[in-house]
A and B are shown apart, each in its own frame.
Chain A
Amino acid sequence: MQTDLALWSAVAGMLMLLACSREERQFRPSPPASEVINSVQVSGLNPGANPVGAPAAPEYYQESAYAVSQGKTLFNEYNCSGCHANGGGGIGPPLMDNYWIYGSEPGNIFTTIIQGRPNGMPSFRNRIPEFQAWEIVAYVRSLSGLLPKDVAPSRSDQFYVKPPEQSMPYQVPTGITGKPEPPK
């Protein structure tokens, strides 16, 4: 009897431990930032017909409603909204339309945040931790309907100034992208 109890307790304990497996937070996302930045190109023109694929990027953030929601908070807290408003732009360009000056792929946006861009986009290198930058990237992509509806934020508690990200239709990205459409 006592053996049974011990056995069952051990089994129950193992099961409880299993239940502790939680959604993982990636504080050092893979691939590392240097690899992402090295694989990003800011031109759609490839001399010698030498196309470069989409830049490397971790997939987790694009699939996690939690990450996107964190990204939305950080978008305000790092003052991204100061220039890009709630996606419509102001000092900086709009982010809710389909025109991507420096590319729409997660790796492109990540690189834009970390490196900055010459016409006024500040460089947040050493200011925003990598995993937070990826969360912001995911949120920025949700602004123009590039994320699945079950991941994009719904209407926020704040002053209603624009349609919620969740209701944004998918907009085919134009401009410099990691995956240019092939000619037909």
Chain B
Amino acid sequence: MKVSALPALSSRLRSSALVVVIVLASACLSFSADSKSRASKMIFPASETNYQPRPYTGKLEPDDGQWMRPAKDYASTRYSTLNQINTETVKNLKLEFTFSTGLARGHEAAPLVVNNTMYIVTPWPNNLYALDLAQPGAPMKWVYQPMPTPASQGVACCDVVNRGASYDNGKIYYNTLDDQTVCVDAKSGKQVWKTRIGDINKGESLTMAPLVVKGKVLVGVSGGEFGIRGWLKALDANSGQVAWTAYTTGLDKDVLIGPRFKPFYAQDRGQDLGVKTWPPDAWKIGGAGAWGWVSYDPDLNLIFYGTANPGPWDSDARPGANKFSAGIFARDPDTGEAIWYYQFSPHDLFDYDAVNENILLDLPIEGRTRKVLVHPDRNGYVYVIDRTNGEVLSANPFAPITTSAGVDLKTGLLQYVEEKEPHRGKVLRGLCPSAPGAKDWQPSAFSPRTGLVYIPHNHLCMDEEDVSVNYIAGTPYVGANVVMYDAPGGHGGEFSAWDPVAGKIAWTIPDHFPVWSGALATAGDLVFYGTMDGWFHAVDARQGHDLWKFKTGSGIIGQPVTYKGPDGKQYVAILSGVGGWAGAIVAGGLDPRDKSAALGFVGAMQDLPKYTTGGGMLYVFSLP
């Protein structure tokens, strides 16, 4: 009878006994961790208790009511001066027309609007549609089909997305997944040129939206999970010939580092750091593409862009600082010469690419106006950097962080937490932010009327075990088992208004899923964004109140834009169509029983298929 005593207990009692044991055990664990070191501390962002709008006094590009570049302007503000749709009228916002792309993969592109024509780039097979905004219902003018090879889908790490096109001087420029940059006549839809600048058999692909600066098309490569050797290229806008190539790794002459290169911090100075900060030859397969956003300052004649994660993720394979990965370059757009560089995450341990947007602003910092760039990084900090020389002026957390304890503003170095450094054969728990970072590619917007940066972002942590990995050209080169999950609070994403001067959050809106869409700010004091369950929101830019929302057919991971139509009315447009890395479970039909699927993102997105299905559709709204 004694033997059966335990089984005789009701199963509920047994499970509560188990809970007690677990609670006691975890209490012991957290106690010992606290007594050990600062290691298990989680850093949270600071909130402003009494936010006062700080109208922007710097200058902005004049606005003609069109949307010609991915980020609207060279400074990457994603701000429009249109104000017909505002906090008063937004409640009347109605659907005006729609357009189906016929594709069920992730739609991340911003539509362009030029000369009463809207241009949409789809995910692979990267079709370019032109819609006539002067006709009722915006019928199709033409479609351009570049026919990228289907095999290129096998080297796209995180769904077969495309982040959009750029307009310049009567032409549309964009990239295909199979490494071609195309130039299409904006009126006729005829191809002007097409240049192949990469090779899928080396794991190279193109997903980013190019920027055209002074007759040069700037294109950066994707493939940090495929052992590429990262680069940014400038193509002549007229001929499509490559004008210069700036590698991220290798000898100074390949990185275009010369006498004009003057990084602010000592650790970024020295000869051939792109070779010396790697084990022999590892720089040749060190990843570090440039698949994010490019900004341009015409006064300084500098472009700014971030470099991606070093490869493989298994950091034991690449001791060293791994220059010039996970940092930001300022370059001369004419020659490609590097002017300065700063590394956000030296010897990156967690896939913290630095490719996020750089918003160029002139802000009052400690009593004087500084030419800065604002960069919300994957490592969890919003950096304010002097864009003339690369000095970090501030770096404040905007999401929960356990992997680092801050940024030393004297040395510019990220303060890693030793206990959270992954090594082979060791499972680490509670790494925040997770691999896609506190914020991935999804671009922020800035409103000069409030002085706030609107940041769509993730709210995730992860567990990780690094494993050794073989390099086989054209196949993934990762070497980590990852499982992601929601950060404390029980939600996976947030849409936050950030005060870049105070370095604090003005307001934030939690969302069940990572907010994987871009943001749009308007002079109507509205901010637009979408959620992965398909809601398109307009919120009050000052207080964050939700003023209007519309349920689209699929989850939203696109970038909202606004424009003035030929009828003088203001329109707002968004591509719906779930996918991307976060939405891979739906776009790729992945199996939620394996939480490490999609490089661990499936762990956090197991319930997404219950909320949305795929399907690309453009939605355009206006007032009646």
Residues of A within 8 A of B478 (CB): 82
- Cβ-based interface call for A33 (8 A): no
Q: How far is the CB of B255 from chain A (nearest CB, A)?
A: 28
Contact flags A62-83 to B (C-beta < 8 A → 1, else 0): 0000000000000011110011
- Most B Cβ at <10 Å: residue of A78, A158, A161: A161
Contact assessment for A85 and B588 in the assembled complex, using a CB-CB cutoff below 8 Å: no
Contact assessment for A161 and B481 in the assembled complex, using a CB-CB cutoff below 8 Å: yes
- Cβ-based interface call for A58 (8 A): no
Contact assessment for A94 and B589 in the assembled complex, using a CB-CB cutoff below 8 Å: yes
A77-115: which have CB < 8 Å to B?
77-79, 82-83, 85-94, 96-97, 99
Q: Given A85-B597, A158-B481, A161-B596, does the pair A94, B154 have CB atoms closer than 8 Å?
A: no
Q: Given A93-B588, A122-B474, does the pair A85, B154 have CB atoms closer than 8 Å?
A: no
Residues of A within 8 A of B599 (CB): 85, 90
Q: Given A79-B477, A159-B465, A163-B593, does the pair A90, B588 have CB atoms closer than 8 Å?
A: yes
B101-158: which have CB < 8 Å to A?
150-157
Q: In the bound complex, how far is the Cα of B602 from the Cα of A87, in angstroms? A: 12
B residues engaging A (CB < 8 A)? 150-157, 225, 427, 463-465, 467, 469-470, 472, 474-478, 481, 483, 584, 588-599, 602-603
Q: Given A92-B154, A120-B150, A161-B596, does the pair A97, B591 have CB atoms closer than 8 Å?
A: yes
- Cβ-based interface call for A184 (8 A): no
- Cβ-based interface call for A119 (8 A): yes
Residues of B within 8 A of A48 (CB): none
Contact assessment for A122 and B154 in the assembled complex, using a CB-CB cutoff below 8 Å: yes
Residues of B within 8 A of A159 (CB): 427, 463-465, 481, 483, 596
Q: In the bound complex, how far is the Cα of B424 from the Cα of A76, in angstroms? A: 15
Contact assessment for B477 and A88 in the assembled complex, using a CB-CB cutoff below 8 Å: no
Interface residues of chain A: helix, strand, loop or mixed (majority): loop
Contact assessment for A88 and B591 in the assembled complex, using a CB-CB cutoff below 8 Å: yes
Neighbour of A88 across the interface among B150, B155, B474, B596, CB < 8 A: B596
Neighbour of A83 across the interface among B476, B481, B603, CB < 8 A: B476
How many chain-A residues does the 8 Å CB contact rule pick out? 31
Residues of B within 8 A of A86 (CB): 481, 594, 596-597
Q: How far is the CB of B546 from chain A (nearest CB, A)?
A: 34
Contact assessment for B153 and A94 in the assembled complex, using a CB-CB cutoff below 8 Å: no
Q: How far is the CB of A31 from chain B (nearest CB, A)?
A: 28
Contact assessment for B595 and A162 in the assembled complex, using a CB-CB cutoff below 8 Å: yes
- Cβ-based interface call for A118 (8 A): yes
Q: CB-nearest residue of chain B relative to A94? A: B591
Neighbour of B152 across the interface among A79, A89, A120, CB < 8 A: A120
Q: Given A89-B591, A120-B154, A158-B465, does the pair A82, B477 have CB atoms closer than 8 Å?
A: yes
Residues of A within 8 A of B474 (CB): 122
Residues of B within 8 A of A99 (CB): 589
- Cβ-based interface call for A121 (8 A): yes
A-B contact pairs, 26 of them (CB 8 A): A82-B475, A83-B475, A85-B590, A85-B598, A85-B599, A87-B591, A88-B590, A88-B591, A88-B594, A89-B588, A89-B589, A89-B590, A89-B594, A89-B598, A90-B588, A91-B153, A91-B154, A91-B156, A97-B591, A99-B589, A118-B150, A119-B153, A122-B474, A159-B427, A161-B483, A161-B603
Q: How far is the CB of A158 from chain B (nearest CB, A)?
A: 6
Q: Given A89-B590, A119-B150, A122-B474, does the pair A94, B597 have CB atoms closer than 8 Å?
A: yes
Residues of B within 8 A of A85 (CB): 590, 594, 596-599, 602
- Most B Cβ at <10 Å: residue of A86, A90, A92, A99: A90
Total contacts A-B at CB 8 Å? 122
A residues engaging B (CB < 8 A)? 76-79, 82-83, 85-94, 96-97, 99, 116, 118-122, 127, 158-159, 161-163
- Most B Cβ at <10 Å: residue of A77, A78, A86, A127: A86
Contact assessment for B465 and A162 in the assembled complex, using a CB-CB cutoff below 8 Å: no
Q: Given A78-B470, A79-B470, A86-B481, does the pair A162, B153 have CB atoms closer than 8 Å?
A: no
Residues of A within 8 A of B153 (CB): 91, 119-120
Residues of A within 8 A of B476 (CB): 79, 82-83, 91
Residues of A within 8 A of B596 (CB): 85-86, 88, 159, 161-162
Q: In the bound complex, how far is the Cα of B475 from the Cα of A116, in angstroms? A: 13
Residues of A within 8 A of B470 (CB): 77-79
Contact assessment for A90 and B465 in the assembled complex, using a CB-CB cutoff below 8 Å: no
Contact assessment for B598 and A90 in the assembled complex, using a CB-CB cutoff below 8 Å: yes
Q: CB-nearest residue of chain A relative to B312? A: A82
Q: In the bound complex, how far is the Cα of B35 from the Cα of A144, in angstroms? A: 45
Residues of A within 8 A of B225 (CB): 82
Q: In the bound complex, how far is the Cα of B150 from the Cα of A77, in angstroms? A: 25
Contact assessment for B477 and A94 in the assembled complex, using a CB-CB cutoff below 8 Å: no
Contact assessment for A88 and B602 in the assembled complex, using a CB-CB cutoff below 8 Å: yes
- Most A Cβ at <10 Å: residue of B150, B464, B590, B603: B590
Q: How far is the CB of B608 from chain A (nearest CB, A)?
A: 13
Residues of B within 8 A of A90 (CB): 584, 588, 590, 597-599, 602
Contact assessment for B594 and A161 in the assembled complex, using a CB-CB cutoff below 8 Å: yes
Q: In the bound complex, how far is the Cα of B603 from the Cα of A99, in angstroms? A: 21
Contact assessment for B151 and A120 in the assembled complex, using a CB-CB cutoff below 8 Å: yes
Q: How far is the CB of A112 from chain B (nearest CB, A)?
A: 13
Q: In the bound complex, how far is the Cα of B359 from the Cα of A176, in angstroms? A: 51
Q: How far is the CB of A89 from chain B (nearest CB, A)?
A: 4
Q: How far is the CB of A35 from chain B (nearest CB, A)?
A: 27
Q: How far is the CB of A18 from chain B (nearest CB, A)?
A: 41
Q: Given A78-B470, A91-B476, does the pair A120, B595 have CB atoms closer than 8 Å?
A: no
Top 9 nearest A-B pairs by Cβ distance?
A120-B154, A88-B594, A82-B476, A88-B597, A159-B465, A94-B591, A120-B153, A161-B596, A162-B594
